[in-house]
Amino acid sequence: MTMDPIDPQGDLVAVRGNQIAAVTGPERLSEFKGASTTLIDCGGHSVLPGFIDAHCHIHALAERLITIGVGPRSSVRSIRDIQAALRQAAQRHAPGSWLRAHGYDEFFLEEKRHPTREDLDAAAPLHPVTLTHRSGHARVLNTLALRHVGISIETPDPEGALIDRHHETGEPTGLLFDMGSFLAKRTPRLDDTHVEAGMRLANREFLSLGITSIQDPSPGNGRSQWQRFRRWKETGILHPRIAMMLGWEDFLAFSVDDFSNPVGEEQLRLAGVKVLIGEASGRLHPAPAALNDIVRAIHQAGWQVALHAIEEPTIEAACRAIEQALETFPRPDHRHRIEHCSVCPPALRRRLAALGTLVVTQPSFLYYNGERYLKTLPAEHLANLYPIAALLSAGITVAAGSDSPVAPLNPFKAISGAVSRRAETGAPVAPEQGIALDAALRMYTASAARATFEEGSKGTITPGKRADLIVLDRDVTRVPQDDLGDVEVEMTILDGRIVWDT
């Protein structure tokens, strides 16, 4: 399945070096077979272009793989379970050293609430503790950690963020919303050796899932993240191709000298600027006027902007900012992106289409978070939740990403979510927005390549493009909708080399 509309299928793929030489029929095998040819019989299974995860936070994933997991997919079911995990970790680490845990989701906890600093103090009073929500947008700190980062009853809410407080006393509860950048500057970084160990685990997971390219839109990305990527590439720790976006502050300080690239653009490249639009404080942040200035500056500089916008007010603000930038500096084929676009009604879909924006969304959330959506979202939001079919009908290019570590990496859970629109429990979630299998596969291949202007080199199995291919464990076109999430990758080929084989 080539994902190339001009030549959508073939029976034989010939690879020469790191490029695709031909897509044809078995009758031409003798033309390509020689003494040094490796011949792979795929046994009737599907061959696809390598998957492109269009929204993945690689450093955060590497760190989570080596920290304490307390998410709903672990054995954690309650705050008591979180406390037990922290107590065990505290016994292994000297007092005063930081404990990092991640992945909790209050919806799936027995108590149906966020933990507090008192809960964490009871488990590890002698260690600073930071506990990250599944979404990455909330964190809980214990008393020692709050003291270390300088948060007290007198600390005002940072702009665009929120410090949760006890109603009676005004003291921080330990729960913090959208304070990732604040905390990153005030907490010690994980040792590079530990992060490297996490990256090795992440790399193996990428390849086993057929992910040969990744787009990283982390808002904290800058020079130090680039240098890590470059080092991991040079030492062979990280195989997939990386397109890294800059955060806004690092874009302002951008110097080409800080981003040398001995591994080449086909392995590591800059790909736009990430801007997060939030509402944690009850108001848009950045404020609309400031957002318009930010987007206009990025646009005028000739860069692509990726706007984190989840619900209607943030998507509307993103549209307005792009509209003003285009009015001031018209530019065809800008490919500015909306990241997530979770609740998007018809009027906003029409604006996005008219602006020529792309949407990079997360259909795996339908699978992993579907039950939560069904029980917490109002009916009018459910009707417009991840409206992928409607976005495609409007003529919008839609690419898919995992948002890992917010959700697991597995592309077939996302493809299943996009096609069947079923939660992990089997419950349907706005099923009228389901799409066909080939359209879902395109979101992880051809459309994802287009999202970073790389459709000329990858995303389809087309002669002349890079030989990034995956072989599945079955013929995916014969798999029932409800079983798509169980499809696995049997072999991953990157740059013409087999890098994963079961």
**Same domain for 140 and 95:** yes
The CATH number for 290's domain is 3.20.20.140
pLDDT of residue 138: 97
Residue that finishes a domain, picked among 154, 184, 214 = 184
Q: Examine the domain organization and report whether 150 and 283 are in the same domain.
A: no
Cα separation, 305 vs 272, in Å, equals 6
Query: Would you call 322 helix, strand, or coil by DSSP?
Result: helix
Q: 293 in a domain, yes or no?
A: yes
Predicted pLDDT at 10:
95
Tell me which residue range forms the domain holding 383. 51-58+190-457+464-494
Q: Is residue 132 part of a domain?
A: yes
With respect to residue 36, please indicate whether it lies within any of the assigned structural domains.
no
Q: 247 and 104: one domain? A: no
In a domain, 443, yes or no: yes
Asked whether residue 17 is domain-assigned, the answer is: no
Q: How far apart are CA 33 and CA 372, in angstroms?
A: 53
Asked whether residue 482 is domain-assigned, the answer is yes
Do residue 268 and residue 348 come from a single domain? Answer: yes
At 282 the pLDDT is: 87
CA distances (Å), origin 383, targets 257, 386, 415, 428, 432? 48, 9, 20, 12, 9
One domain, residues 169 and 194: no
Using left for φ > 0, alpha for ψ between -120 and 50, and beta otherwise, residue 221 falls in: beta
Q: Are residues 140 and 239 in the same domain?
A: no
The reply to whether 393 and 452 lie within a common domain is yes
In a domain, 74, yes or no: yes
E strand or H helix that includes residue 421:
none
For 108, the 3-state DSSP assignment is helix
Which of 362, 354, 302, 334 is CA-nearest to residue 453? Answer: 334
3-state secondary structure of 435: coil
Clarify whether residues 232 and 157 are in a common domain: no
The answer to whether residues 86 and 218 belong to one domain is no
Residues of the chain scoring pLDDT < 70? none
pLDDT at 280: 86
CATH number at residue 96: 3.10.310.70
Which of residues 141, 164, 184 is at a domain's end? Answer: 184
Residue 201 counted as domain residue = yes
Q: Counting Cβ atoms within 10 Å, is residue 12 exposed (0-12), middle (13-18) or buried (19+)?
A: middle
Q: Are residues 138 and 277 in the same domain?
A: no
Final residue belonging to a domain, choices 139, 157, 184: 184
Same-domain check for residues 251 and 396: yes
* Model confidence pLDDT, tens digit, residues 253-308: 999 999 999 999 999 999 999 999 999 888 999 999 999 999 999 999 999 999 99
What's the number of domains the chain is made of?
Answer: 2
Residues 344 and 311 in one domain: yes
